[in-house]
Amino acid sequence: MSQVNRVVIAGAGIGGLSAALALAKQGVQAVVCEQASHLGEVGAGLQMSPNALKVLRKLGLESALRPFVFVPEHATIRDFKSGEYYLKVPLGEQAISRYDAPYWHVHRADLHHVLVEACLAEGVELVLNATVTHYVENAALDQVSVCLEDGRTFESDVLIGADGIRSKIREQMLGPESPTFMGQVAWRGVVPVSDLKMTIKPDACVWAGPGRHFVSYYLRGGEYVNFVAVEERNDWRSESWREEGDIDALRQAFSGWHPEVSGILASAQSTFLWALNGRDSLAIWHKGRAVLLGDACHPMLPFMAQGAAMAIEDAYILAQCLSNGTVADALIKYEDVRKPRTTNIQKMSKANAGLYHMQGGVFGKMKLKALQAASRLAPHVIQTKLDSVYGYDATK
């Protein structure tokens, strides 16, 4: 299989745009097909850990992002009612010192905008109203035809499926299979700090409680507070994976929680409700000239705050592989490099759900107490676990 000159990417999310930018910087022509009629991102905050920042820095985005970020002082886990700290890991300057890159909070829309501008500057072709339905391999021409819903086709050397957990590319590659509802939903929202009646600590904070947890952190230099409230549910009857949430129902679900939590929710005007879905580890990530990236191949619960980071890492490494060798060799190498890491972080994220939700009653609380003791008596043990995530450098 020949070398790569032109790539079509299905999906203009964070992962798809990161891949397009990384490829364009390697001299590969990148075409991004996006089903939406305009470019933008739903959602709210993202935690960009040092492993993600190393890639964004390599792609030349650090300076453009800096005006939009907030730098948290600590990563913490606190008790839902008392506010007691079970974990308090320093970030800020210590993150830079330890990992050679910062830990930033950024609004998803800001990161998306910076990526779009960088892609356009590098000559990436962004095609809107372009829903990819399937692809056709053309072995004789060493190409793949990417077919759109409106009948248009794009020829390329490689097709990257960065089209999310309901990926059409994954479906054609591996067959139809609905994602698995993980028994949890996430309420997300953003509150202007000017609307709050109390001060929120400048940390990335997880509030752990029975059957649910709450995440809060600042965005845009401290102008907003982002929240994610996760609640265990037995089922999800809505046909939509995301819908407008009932803010009063959210407040009721977290009534009696710490004043910082109740204060944020008291000031929240609206929220969106997401079903948290997942998949078992895929047998393969690539077939012929099609390959998967991000949530299309390794969706994960958001309890390590690594979903976007993993897509960004995928994008950079896939671009490097494709620019150094034949298609067949590149896709094998990409999967070999990425699958062990993403599978491990999927497992870590799933395990954190039990910790944050105090699963097991008294035993769940005991696990948090054990974490508290370990963080005080042997902080290097906690730090080592984080080192495997934050210390990784995809650019090397």
Tokens of 261: 């939590």
Q: Is residue 303 part of a domain?
A: yes
Residue 91: per-residue pLDDT: 95
Residue 8: per-residue pLDDT: 98
Q: What is the mean pLDDT of the chain?
A: 93
Residues 296, 287: Cα–Cα separation, whole Å: 14
Residues 260, 252: Cα–Cα separation, whole Å: 15
Residue 153: per-residue pLDDT: 96
Q: Is residue 329 part of a domain?
A: yes
Closest-CA residue to 317 (of 127, 124, 64, 52): 52
Residues 367, 375: Cα–Cα separation, whole Å: 12
Strands (E), 61-211: 74-79, 85-90, 104-107, 125-127, 132-138, 143-148, 153-156, 158-161, 180-192, 204-209
Q: Is residue 155 part of a domain?
A: yes
> How do residues 298-338 score in pLDDT, each as one tens digit?
999 999 999 999 999 999 999 999 998 799 999 999 999 99
Tokens of 242: 């995301």
Q: Is residue 195 part of a domain?
A: no
Backbone angles phi, psi at 128, to 5 degrees: -95, 170
Q: Is residue 256 part of a domain?
A: no
Q: Is residue 247 part of a domain?
A: no
Residue 33: per-residue pLDDT: 97
Tokens of 168: 């059409």
Q: What is the CA radius of gyration of the chain?
A: 21
Residue 240: per-residue pLDDT: 57
Q: Are strands 29-33 and 6-10 parallel, antiparallel or unpaired?
A: parallel
Q: Among this protein's residues, is 217 annotated catalytic?
A: yes
Residue 377: per-residue pLDDT: 81
DSSP conformational letter for 70? B
Question: Looking at 14-28, 90-104, 137-151, 232-246, which range is the least confident one?
Answer: 232-246
pLDDT score of 291 more than 80:
yes
Residues 354, 53: Cα–Cα separation, whole Å: 28
Coil vs helix vs strand at 318: helix
Taken in order 340, 341, 346, 349, is the CA torsion positive or negative? positive
> How do residues 348-376 score in pLDDT, each as one tens digit?
999 998 899 998 777 888 899 888 888 88
pLDDT score of 143 more than 60:
yes
Taken in order 299, 302, 303, 307, is the CA torsion positive or negative? positive
In Å, what is the CA distance from 131 to each residue of 14, 155, 171, 376? 17, 15, 14, 52
DSSP conformational letter for 135? E
| ∠ CA 357-104-309, rounded to 5° | 70
Helix (H) or strand (E) holding 244: strand 242-244
Tokens of 350: 């799933």
Residues 56, 350: Cα–Cα separation, whole Å: 26
Of the candidates 217, 218, 224, 316, the residue annotated as catalytic is 217
Residues 157, 268: Cα–Cα separation, whole Å: 47
Residue 325: per-residue pLDDT: 79
> How do residues 187-240 score in pLDDT, each as one tens digit?
999 999 999 999 999 999 999 999 999 999 999 999 999 999 999 988 766 655
pLDDT score of 104 more than 90:
yes
8-13 average pLDDT score: 97
Residues 31, 145: Cα–Cα separation, whole Å: 13
- Counted domains in the chain: 1
| ∠ CA 355-361-365, rounded to 5° | 50
Amino acid at 76: T
Domain containing residue 18: CATH number = 3.50.50.60
Provide the percentage of residues in the chain whose pLDDT is more than 90.
80
Residue 336: per-residue pLDDT: 97
Residue 241: per-residue pLDDT: 56
pLDDT score of 84 more than 90:
yes
Residue 238: per-residue pLDDT: 62
Q: Is residue 343 part of a domain?
A: yes
Residue 239: per-residue pLDDT: 53
pLDDT score of 242 more than 70:
no
- pTM summary value: 0.95
Tokens of 345: 């972080």
Q: Regarding predicted confidence, which is higher, 53 or 233?
A: 53
Backbone angles phi, psi at 21, to 5 degrees: -65, -45
Taken in order 378, 382, 384, 390, is the CA torsion positive or negative? negative
pLDDT score of 1 more than 80:
no
Residue 383: per-residue pLDDT: 83
Residue 237: per-residue pLDDT: 62
Closest-CA residue to 272 (of 12, 44, 11, 37): 44
Q: Is residue 387 part of a domain?
A: no
Residue 15: per-residue pLDDT: 98
Contact 181, 299 (CB under 8 A): no
Q: Which domain holds residue 109?
A: 6-42+105-178+279-354
Q: Give the number of other Cβ atoms within 10 Å of residue 365's Cβ.
A: 15
In Å, what is the CA distance from 320 to each residue of 4, 103, 316, 364? 11, 24, 6, 43
90-111 average pLDDT score: 96
Question: Looking at 15-29, 162-176, 269-283, which range is the least confident one?
Answer: 269-283
Residues 279, 105: Cα–Cα separation, whole Å: 27
Taken as a whole, the chain contains a residue count of: 396
